[in-house]
């Protein structure tokens, strides 16, 4: 019974994705489809794409290790999504023909801005994808008793197939199914986990008081730094911007963004509490197995299959979004602008599909080399936020700050992040991503050709 849920889920999204392949005629169909998706579709797609292995399985692991501080840090992502929806997307001025983040960047910073965006997009998404694929392998291993490497191959083969053949339309359809599974599966998992762990009183008595201290093993500055890293780390990432481009109109996308930010709050609380339940049951457990263990032990037959499918959906929903975004960025924002030939139509579509496969295989190799999902996630942020977050936010708002401001921000943000992390060792517990972002922000404002829109005149 349980395995049938999993087979039906994997088979269904694979079949639909392959069926959509015949409708893809060019790279625009592959990347933005009709651009007429409504509120629920954009909201479900955004939500499913961020609720990945790092934010679910990784959160349960970190809460098992050090307590509720990780949940509070993840609220930074929630705050970031809500602010972006209310103040950036609601006032966006995106070019009508834009089919990728780099094409948005080009309108303000020229070809160099587009190409840099494409390269950073590939690096970020490869890292994020590697984290999700590692989580897929762990899920198959613990939940279905399949060897880790075999689980990586099976799970990711399905994602690779439907995203390569069906493009963004197949990815969005899969994310809607995954969102619905999550909406049912996560609350069920928490309810049965609490019961299995002895109820709220039993959990409170079994867990050290330090786990309920947000600053357990960390300083207020370090917690604030992690909060800010979560806020800016996945803000306006390529996969997120891609969802902006498929929406029916600006108000629809703005509302969907705010709603997804609000939804993330209970998601982080639920997954973190599952980690606490696992600690109450077995404090000596390998922390990376916190969530899978509760799925296997706490759930009855039948419901277990549904929740296993939901857990696979957790990681597959982020993985397919990252993979699609990476291949679209490579084709639209690197290969096309660098090519001396006027690539179009079927040729670009073939390159996009090949890029999808190549990036996917690279991420799979990364996943086979490490299983630490949360740490891969945080490291990946350094490839985007310090260099690209401020310029792309400005571009989305239609602020033409100039090529010098972009170059100063990208170079200064990247250099600061690297030096801060690898040369001086994250002083005061502040992460390199956070330090790089603020350095880039200051440099962007200093070199802006439109300082009245920045922080000083």
Q: DSSP letter string over 131-157?
A: HHHHHHHHHHHHHH---HHHHHHHHHH
Q: Which residues contact 415 (CB under 8 A, 6 or more apart)?
A: none
What does the alpha-carbon distance between residue 321 and residue 313 come to, in Å, rounded to a whole number? 12
Domains identified in the chain and CATH numbers: 2-374 (1.20.1730.10), 399-457 (no CATH)
Tokens 């956070």, located at residue: 434
Of the candidates 293, 17, 303, the residue with the CA atom closest to the CA atom of residue 175: 17
Of the candidates 407, 457, 415, 454, the residue with the CA atom closest to the CA atom of residue 436: 415
Reading the block at residue 114, the tokens are: 């587009």
What does the alpha-carbon distance between residue 405 and residue 447 come to, in Å, rounded to a whole number? 5
Look at residue 4 in the predicted model and tell me its pLDDT.
76
Collapsing DSSP to helix, strand or coil, 247 comes out as strand
Q: What is the mean pLDDT of residues 208-225?
A: 89
What does the alpha-carbon distance between residue 379 and residue 43 come to, in Å, rounded to a whole number? 27
CA triple 415-332-30, angle to 5 deg = 130
What does the alpha-carbon distance between residue 311 and residue 151 come to, in Å, rounded to a whole number? 14
Look at residue 400 in the predicted model and tell me its pLDDT.
84
> CB atoms < 10 A from the CB of 87, how many?
12
Look at residue 264 in the predicted model and tell me its pLDDT.
93
Of the candidates 305, 392, 353, 336, the residue with the CA atom closest to the CA atom of residue 94: 392
Q: How far is CA 321 from CA 4, 163, 400, in A?
A: 25, 9, 29
Res 426 pLDDT > 80: yes
Q: What is the mean pLDDT of residues 199-213?
A: 91
Q: What is the mean pLDDT of residues 25-44?
A: 76
Is this model's pTM higher than 0.95 or not? no
> CB atoms < 10 A from the CB of 426, how many?
15
Look at residue 131 in the predicted model and tell me its pLDDT.
72
Look at residue 196 in the predicted model and tell me its pLDDT.
94
pLDDT in tens, 134-149: 777 777 887 778 887 8
What does the alpha-carbon distance between residue 322 and residue 316 come to, in Å, rounded to a whole number? 10
Res 117 pLDDT > 60: yes
Look at residue 152 in the predicted model and tell me its pLDDT.
79
What is the helix (H) or strand (E) element at residue 357, kind and residue range? helix 345-369
Task: Please report which confidence band the pLDDT of residue 249 belongs to, taking 50, 70 and 90 as the band edges.
Answer: confident
pLDDT in tens, 316-342: 767 777 787 788 888 888 888 888 777
Look at residue 370 in the predicted model and tell me its pLDDT.
59
Contact 174, 13 (CB under 8 A): yes
What does the alpha-carbon distance between residue 432 and residue 378 come to, in Å, rounded to a whole number? 10
Which DSSP letter does residue 84 get? I
């Amino acid at each position: 019974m349980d395995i049938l849920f999993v087979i039906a889920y994997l088979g269904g999204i694979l079949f639909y994705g392959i069926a959509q392949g015949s409708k893809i005629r060019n790279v625009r169909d592959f990347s933005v489809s009709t651009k007429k998706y409504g509120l629920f579709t954009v909201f479900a797609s955004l939500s499913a794409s961020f609720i990945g292995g790092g934010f679910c399985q990784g959160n349960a692991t970190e809460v098992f290790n050090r307590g509720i501080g990780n949940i509070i840090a993840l609220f930074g992502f929630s705050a970031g999504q809500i602010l972006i929806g209310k103040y950036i997307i609601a006032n966006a001025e995106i070019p009508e023909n834009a089919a990728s983040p780099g094409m948005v960047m080009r309108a303000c910073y020229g070809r160099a801005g587009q190409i840099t965006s494409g390269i950073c997009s590939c690096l970020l998404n490869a890292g994020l994808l590697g984290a999700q694929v590692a989580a897929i392998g762990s899920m198959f291993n613990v939940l279905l008793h399949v060897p880790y490497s075999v689980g990586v191959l099976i799970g990711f083969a399905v994602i690779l197939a439907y995203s390569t053949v069906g493009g963004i339309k197949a990815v969005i359809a899969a994310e809607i199914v995954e969102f619905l599974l999550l909406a049912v599966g996560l609350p069920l998992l928490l309810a049965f986990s609490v019961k299995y762990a002895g109820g709220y009183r039993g959990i409170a008595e079994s867990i050290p008081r330090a786990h309920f201290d947000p600053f357990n093993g960390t300083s207020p500055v370090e917690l604030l730094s992690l909060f800010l890293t979560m806020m800016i780390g996945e803000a306006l990432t390529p996969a997120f911007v891609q969802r902006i481009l498929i929406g029916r109109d600006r108000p629809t996308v703005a509302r969907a963004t705010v709603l997804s930010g609000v939804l993330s709050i209970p998601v982080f609380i639920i997954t973190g509490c599952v980690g606490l339940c696992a600690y109450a049951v077995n404090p000596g457990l390998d922390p990376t197995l916190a969530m899978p263990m509760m799925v296997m032990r706490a759930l009855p037959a039948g419901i277990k299959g549904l929740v296993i499918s939901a857990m696979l959906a957790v990681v597959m929903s982020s993985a397919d979004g990252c993979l699609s975004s990476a291949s679209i960025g490579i084709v639209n924002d690197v290969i096309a602008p660098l090519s001396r030939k006027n690539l179009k139509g079927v040729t670009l579509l073939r390159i996009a599909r090949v890029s999808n496969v190549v990036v996917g295989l690279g991420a799979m190799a990364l996943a086979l080399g490490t299983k630490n999902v949360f740490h891969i996630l945080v490291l990946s942020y350094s490839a985007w936020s310090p260099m690209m977050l401020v310029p792309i936010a400005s571009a989305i708002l239609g602020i033409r700050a100039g090529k010098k401001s972009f170059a100063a921000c990208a170079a200064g943000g990247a250099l600061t992040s690297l030096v801060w992390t690898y040369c001086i060792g994250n002083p005061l517990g502040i992460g390199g991503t956070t330090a790089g972002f603020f350095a880039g922000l200051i440099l962007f404002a200093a070199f802006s050709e439109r300082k009245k829109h920045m922080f000083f005149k």
